[in-house]
Amino acid sequence: MTSTEAGDDIEKMSARPDLSILAYPVISGGEFTHQQSLHLQMGEPMTEDKRRQFSMELQIHKDTPKTFLWHTAEDQTVPVQNTYLYAMALQKYGIPHEVHVYPEGPHGLGLAMLGEKRLPHVATWAQACAAWLAKEGF
């Protein structure tokens, strides 16, 4: 059945997101992968084909949505190279994107709280993201 033949209105809608927002993305199966995430998402055995499928920087095409990325350079859990590789691939394919890499802060800061301490510079990602969404009409 084609989408125009679908009986339910929701089935007529595309599942493709209009935009993507990625924070500390675990999206590369190559040299800079987060091994535990790769294993949990792809299972065993870890073939080269599975690694390529997991490497989102290799999956970009003309219909990839506009993307907002943010990361911290000090992230010891998910290497910042995941963000850089994806951004470079977006650039290669002319996909509009915005990237923020903050020099300090560990993985998983969310709204930039490190225990009781707030990292105000990193916290700017939320405002930058909100501005980006507004520019995109959301």
What does the pLDDT look like over 99-124, one tens digit per residue? 999 998 888 887 766 667 767 788 89
**pLDDT of amino acid 79:** 92
- 1 pLDDT above the threshold of 50: no
Beta strands in the chain (DSSP E): 19-23, 66-72, 97-102, 113-114, 117-118
Indicate the residue type of 27.
I
**pLDDT of amino acid 23:** 95
Question: Do residues 87 and 57 lie in contact, with contact meaning Cβ atoms separated by under 8 Å?
Answer: no
**pLDDT of amino acid 14:** 86
In order of start, what are the domains of the chain with their CATH numbers?
17-135 (3.40.50.1820)
Which residues, including other chains, have CB under 8 Å from residue 126's CB and lie 6 or more apart? Answer: 111, 112
What does the pLDDT look like over 35-90, one tens digit per residue? 777 777 777 777 888 878 878 888 899 999 999 999 999 999 999 999 999 999 99
pTM given for the model? 0.81
- 2 pLDDT above the threshold of 60: no
What does the pLDDT look like over 4-30, one tens digit per residue? 566 788 888 888 899 999 999 988 877
Max intra-chain CA distance, the chain: 55
**pLDDT of amino acid 36:** 76
Angle, alpha carbons 55-57-62 (nearest 5°) = 125
**pLDDT of amino acid 49:** 85
Half-sphere exposure for 61 (CA within 13 Å, toward CB): 3
**Is the C-alpha dihedral spanning 42, 43, 49, 55 positive or negative?**
positive
